[in-house]
Chains A and B, each alone.
Chain A
Amino acid sequence: MSGGGVPKNLKLTTIVPAFNEADCISETIISLKNQSRPPDDIIVVDDSSTDGTGEIARSLGVKVVRPRRNTGSKAGAQNFGLRYVTTDLTMVLDADTTVARNGIAEILKAFALPNTAAACCYVLPRRVRTLWERGRYIEYLYSFSFYKQVQDYFGKPLISSGCLSIYDTKRLRLAGGWSTRTMAEDMDLTWTFYQMGYKVRFVPSALCYPIEPYNFDLMHKQLKRWSAAFLQNVKLHGRGLLDTPFLFTAMAVSLTDATLGALVYLLALPLMAVFVSPWFLLGYIIDAPIIVVPVLIVARRRKEVGKAIASFPSVFILRFVNGFIFLKAVWFEFIIYRPLTTYEKGH
């Protein structure tokens, strides 16, 4: 997306919701302070941490606010922080996420375009060591280089990622802040903005680096929440999205694809391999030639070809696990109607 210059008169506040993030909060705040265009105000919402997160943040010279008791979700903490925002723009940044030095300046360019309510950036895992982080690394390289950019070209990125997004404060307040009615406040808010007639932009030249789940337990928690949240948003917004045809089609395609994909990985391919021919096991990697090209092109630009090649097989394992968790979410959310209501951190 090529916007105009950075709007100079717009003031920006960053909200960092944090619950027991003592290990990484300082890196996050330092990355904010080292920005080429640092935020005018930084508010850390210490959501009743017990590990001294608030004290660490305070020692780095930022404003720390603390609700009387734990808000129970990231959305709750962000809404609490939003009360203290007086600037034109509000940025949310996960406490485990750092931002590339020109990140904020790049995203701000999106607000030079008319009717922009939110803008998000390219996401890459900060650490790429375990199988799960490697799988996620390839998934991000591929999706952010192709899918998300095509979505942006058609003016409808499916989600303004919660790990880093900048919002127009007035429009954010008009939408009611971050709702806690689903487990993915970022997807809910993005789709609400579209229905209100606002625009959401994706800025691939800005980068942020969250810490991704590094073991199966954390990955399971995150995928369980993401899958359930996606289905909750489909239920909540499904009919309303008929007014925004591109988004409705993208949502329906994702839902169909994910459900069928899970059934194919877990049932169809193993059955075909057993009863027809073991060659059908190749179905698990049939799209490898498609994924590998954009991934290697972006990795080469980032001088990470070795890392990308070493990480490549992990994406297929991650996808298999994903399929299982997604089907489980369909069962709970759509069939026996026991929606996920507890917010569990993926890191």
Chain B
Amino acid sequence: MNIGVPGTGISLIFYTLLAVLMPIIHCGRFLRNRREHDVKFVFVHFTYAVYFIFILLIEMSILASSLSVLNVRGPWTTMMRLGALGTFCMLASWITLPLFARYYASLRRRRKGLHSTLPYLAGRKDVQVIDGIYI
């Protein structure tokens, strides 16, 4: 649930996964001396994430075990499975797409000998372009 927009839990899963990764990333940042957050901050969010995963697993198992009791059969079960699979694929694609895009963009830039281009600024009347740099 982000502010001002509804949600099904995809955001929750995404941010929970990120919070689970925080201790590992923190160790990496610590080793590179690039810490901007303290250990308590990381611990609190990691604990939230563990709790969220715990609740999600309980809810999923209750749902799975009660499907027959709730008379969910045939097309409904298929729809729910497809929904879960679709959600997973979408989440995976949203994570991998920018990584691929970034890789190909850097490859293209290297081939053309260009630096970052900021294409989003093109066409803005309040932004001037001098020697390829937007100011």
Contact = CB atoms under 8 A, between A and B. Distances in A.
A248 B98 contact: yes
Interface in A213-246: 222-223, 226-227, 230, 236-237, 239-245
B119 interface: yes
Interface SS of A by simple majority: helix
B6 A290 contact: no
Interface centre among B15, B87, B134 (most CB of A within 10 A): B15
B45 A249 contact: no
Interface string B115-127: 0101111001011
Interface centre among A2, A151, A242, A257 (most CB of B within 10 A): A257
Given A139-B1, A150-B15, A174-B135, A323 B6 contact: yes
A272 B63 CA distance: 14
Interface SS of B by simple majority: helix
Contacts of A1: 36-37, 41
A276 B71 contact: yes
Contacts of A230: 4-5
Nearest to A138: B1
B14 interface: yes
A230 B11 CA distance: 15
Contact of A264 (B8, B101, B116): B8
A196 B116 CA distance: 9
B99 A158 contact: no
Interface residues of B, number: 57
Nearest to A149: B45
A176 B127 contact: yes
Contacts of A158: 2
Contacts of A179: 124, 126
Contact of B11 (A154, A257, A262, A276): A257
Contacts of B22: 150, 153
Contacts of A261: 5-8
Interface residues of A, number: 71
B36 A253 contact: no
Interface in B6-26: 6-12, 14-15, 18-19, 22, 25
A226 B51 contact: no
B80 to A, nearest CB: 9
Interface string A265-298: 1000000100011011000001101110110000
A146 interface: yes
Interface of B: 1-12, 14-15, 18-19, 22, 25, 35-38, 41-42, 45, 48, 51-52, 55-56, 59, 66, 70-72, 76, 87, 90-91, 94-95, 97-99, 101-102, 105, 116, 118-121, 124, 126-127, 134-135
Given A150-B18, A326-B5, 11 more contacts: A147-B1, A150-B15, A150-B45, A153-B18, A226-B4, A236-B120, A243-B98, A257-B5, A287-B1, A293-B51, A320-B6
Closest 4 CB pairs of A and B: A240-B120, A245-B98, A258-B5, A261-B6
